[in-house]
C-alpha cells in the first residue's frame, strides 16, 4: 500500500522546523543578552541603530520586519535605559525618529562578542551557514 501525502502531517511542514530553529537560536542568545540587559527584539533594534545611527520608526519597522505595535514598546524600553531618544521630525511631525544616545553607542562595544559566541553554539560549517543565509533571505523576500 502506498502512503499518500498528508499535508497536515507535522513532518511535512516547512514552517515547523523554521519555527523551532528560530525559537532555539533566540534561546541561545538569552544568556549573552542578559549580560547587557537586552531582549532579543531590543538587540536587533539596537543593531539597526548601530548601523544607521538614526531611523524613523517606519523605516526601522521595514528593516526589522516589525509593525509599530511591536516596535513602539521596544523603543520606549530602550529610551528608559537611555540608549535612544525619540523625536518628531521637524519636516513632518507625523514621523518619529529614533536616534542613538552616547550610552546606546557605547553599548555596541559590549555587544561585539555576541555574534561569535552564537556562531560557536550553532553546529554549521561556514558553507552551510552561508547557504542557509541565502535561502532564509530568499524566503524573507
Q: Can you list the domains of the chain with their CATH numbers? A: 11-117 (1.10.10.10)
Residue 85 has pLDDT above 90, yes or no: yes
Interior CA angle at 46 toward 112 and 97, to 5°?
150
With CA atoms as reference, report the closest residue to 58 among 50, 47, 66: 66
**Residues 58, 66: Cα–Cα separation, whole Å:** 9
The predicted-structure confidence for 7-41, as pLDDT tens digits, reads as follows 999 999 999 999 999 999 999 999 999 999 999 99
Q: Given strand 96-100, what is the order of strands in its sheet?
A: 54-56, 96-100, 84-88
Please name the helix (run of DSSP H) or strand (run of DSSP E) that holds residue 54, with its range, or none: strand 54-56
**Residues 35, 21: Cα–Cα separation, whole Å:** 23
- Cα 17 to Cα 1, 2, 111, 131, 137: the distances in Å are 29, 26, 28, 16, 16
123 CB-near residues (< 8 Å, 6+ apart): none
Residue 1 has pLDDT above 70, yes or no: no
Neighbouring C-beta atoms of residue 77, cutoff 10 Å: 16
The predicted-structure confidence for 102-129, as pLDDT tens digits, reads as follows 999 999 999 999 999 999 888 899 999 9
pTM for this structure? 0.91
Amino acid at each position: 500500500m502506498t502512503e499518500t501525502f498528508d499535508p497536515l502531517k507535522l513532518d511535512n511542514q516547512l514552517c515547523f522546523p523554521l519555527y523551532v530553529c528560530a525559537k532555539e537560536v533566540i534561546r541561545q542568545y538569552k544568556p549573552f543578552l542578559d549580560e547587557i540587559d537586552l531582549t532579543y527584539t531590543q538587540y536587533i533594534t539596537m543593531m539597526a541603530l548601530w548601523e544607521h545611527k538614526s531611523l524613523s520608526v517606519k523605516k526601522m519597522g521595514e528593516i526589522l520586519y516589525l509593525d509599530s505595535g511591536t516596535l513602539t514598546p521596544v523603543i520606549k524600553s530602550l529610551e528608559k535605559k537611555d540608549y535612544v531618544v525619540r523625536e518628531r521630525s521637524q519636516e513632518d511631525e507625523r514621523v518619529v525618529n529614533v536616534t542613538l544616545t552616547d550610552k546606546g553607542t557605547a553599548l555596541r562595544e559590549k555587544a561585539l562578542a555576541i555574534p561569535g559566541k552564537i556562531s560557536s553554539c550553532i553546529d554549521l560549517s561556514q558553507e552551510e551557514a552561508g547557504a542557509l543565509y541565502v535561502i532564509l533571505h530568499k524566503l524573507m523576500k
